[in-house]
Amino acid sequence: MRRHRHAKIVATVGPASNTPERLKALFLAGVDTFRLNFSHGTHDDHAKVHAAIRALEQETGRPIGILQDLQGPKIRIGTLRGDKFDLATGDRIRFVRDGREGGPDAIPLPHPEIFAAVAPGQELLIDDGRVRVRVAGVDDDAIDADVVVGGPISNRKGVNLPGTVLALSPLTEKDRRDLAFGLDLGVDWVALSFVQTPSDVMEARGLIAGRAGLIAKIEKPSALDHIEDIIRIADGVMVARGDLGVELPPEDVPGRQKELVRACRRAVKPVIVATQMLESMVSAPSPTRAEASDVATAVYDGADAVMLSAESAAGRYPIEAVSIMDRIIRRTEQHRLYRSLVRASEPEVEDSPPHAVAAAAATLADAIEAAAIVAFTSSGTTAARIARKRPNVPILAATSDTAVSRRLSLYWGAHSVLGPEIDSYEAMVDRAAEVAAQEGFAQAPDLVVAVAGIPFGRAGTTNNLRVVELGRKASGV
């Protein structure tokens, strides 16, 4: 089964999409990786979805990625007298560490980390920034603040602190239980919420211990201050524009998105652009033109994947949302400006043989109009290095590792092929021709470019390049 596009689709599973029948329909419509949102649902719910996806994988014969998204810490106010009240601009209010039911003079904020971190002049955003207050004074047990933007607040509304780094692990006790459960299930990727510093990523990486790829969700401005180190430590990045857009001025988010996509491409790490991409399709059968343009912009930027959240998890039109996202990606990648825009943002290749060989393979494949590039990879790195160049030909990522084949479903342009490990030049040539033909990408006398590392089977040793004409022996390069 072949996708006629390079960028991938991630779709969130929820009540609108969690049956085997719906999961199959979503996969056939274009989903490459399914997201399990552990902010909702029980372990039993997620286990059933995981089993259904793995059964679908067996039925279709195609690797399917599963992304576990951890909830992370939730900073919220407590309960209020009467459940809610209005704040007017200019009001002076007080937050307190303790208290069961509060009013404007004692709003419960049961998070000691905030009292230890905030300083006068900093802002607190309530209910996704609908209400904004500025800190006037703080001590161990109370924060006095002036209302900058008034409005209603109600029980348990979220609180954001732009520009404030909290002494708070991104992994709550719930997250640790969820992570252990997901790793035992066999998820392929884990998305870490509330990343503020590189040490947050290190903590999660130690717990995952190589059993899944680690995606750092960039939703805090403080993460942007350490982004190069975070990208280096993580296995990939999610541009979580919803939360990021609360704490950053909205006019800054598009530029930050482009920076993150470019930085991940330079580091050879997959990047997902997420949140509100086709938001109107939660209740409408088609997106707005602005939403279609938003998806296309991420594709023009060179993102590895674009993601659906509520659209596929709880919306009325989950299959239609995936279908239109698939069509937007394909039409964008076929546009006459696509190649020039992707090349314009192409990062410099690192000065090393593996990166140079991968880049040469992509350039050569485009130059000779090859039908495909067959990348033999034990860890996925060879395919990822080739994908960084964003060639105009498909990348067949041939691996003997089932886990690697599933993770590759998130990488730009990679079509995973599971098979035996090669152990010689002759096997490489024969297998490249066989894979390209069997998967429907080439036929005699088409050319394919085969890339591998010698010694065979050793991760990270991209150093050999061959041109193979189907039906004939190879010519070495």
pLDDT tens digits for range 58-79: 999 999 999 999 999 999 999 9
Question: What dihedral angle (degrees, nearest 10) is formed by the CA atoms of 83, 283, 239, 328?
Answer: -170
Has residue 375 got a pLDDT over 80?
yes
The neighbour count for residue 276, using CB atoms within 10 Å, is: 16
407 pLDDT higher than 50: yes
- The per-residue pLDDT of the chain, averaged, comes to 93
Q: Would you say 165 and 196 are in contact if contact means Cβ atoms under 8 Å apart?
A: yes
Please report which confidence band the pLDDT of residue 147 belongs to, taking 50, 70 and 90 as the band edges: very high
Q: Report yes or no: 307 and 275 within 8 Å, Cβ to Cβ.
A: yes
Say whether 211 is catalytic.
no
Contact between residue 448 and residue 371 where contact means Cβ atoms under 8 Å apart: yes
The mean pLDDT of 91-106, rounded to a whole number, is 87
Catalytic residue among 5, 35, 256, 385: 35
CB 416 within 8 A of CB 63: yes
Q: What is the mean pLDDT of residues 175-195?
A: 98
425 confidence band (pLDDT: 50, 70, 90):
confident
- Whether 174 is catalytic: no
Q: Flag whether pLDDT at 476 surpasses 60.
A: no
Q: Is the pLDDT of residue 415 over 80?
A: yes
Query: Looking at residue 104, what is its pLDDT?
Result: 87
Q: Residue 474: pLDDT above 70? A: no
Q: What was the pLDDT predicted at 454?
A: 78
The answer, yes or no, to whether residue 463 has pLDDT greater than 70, is yes
Any catalytic annotation for residue 48?
A: no
Percent of the chain with pLDDT over 90: 85
Measured distance CA(94)–CA(135) in Å, rounded? 9
Stated pTM of the model: 0.94
Nearest-angstrom CA–CA distance, 310 and 130: 21
Per the annotation, the verdict on 76 as an active-site residue is yes
Backbone angles phi, psi at 385, to 5 degrees: -65, -40
Please tell me which residue in 22, 74, 76, 97 is annotated as part of the active site.
76
Mean pLDDT of the 128-139 span: 95
pLDDT in the model for residue 473: 56
Neighbours of 460 (CB within 10 A): 13
**Quick one: tokens of 98?**
């303790």
In the set 217, 269, 388, 431, the catalytic residue is 217
Quote the tokens at residue 336: 């006459």
Under 8 Å between Cβ of 409 and 385: no
Catalytic position from the list 33, 275, 381, 399: 275
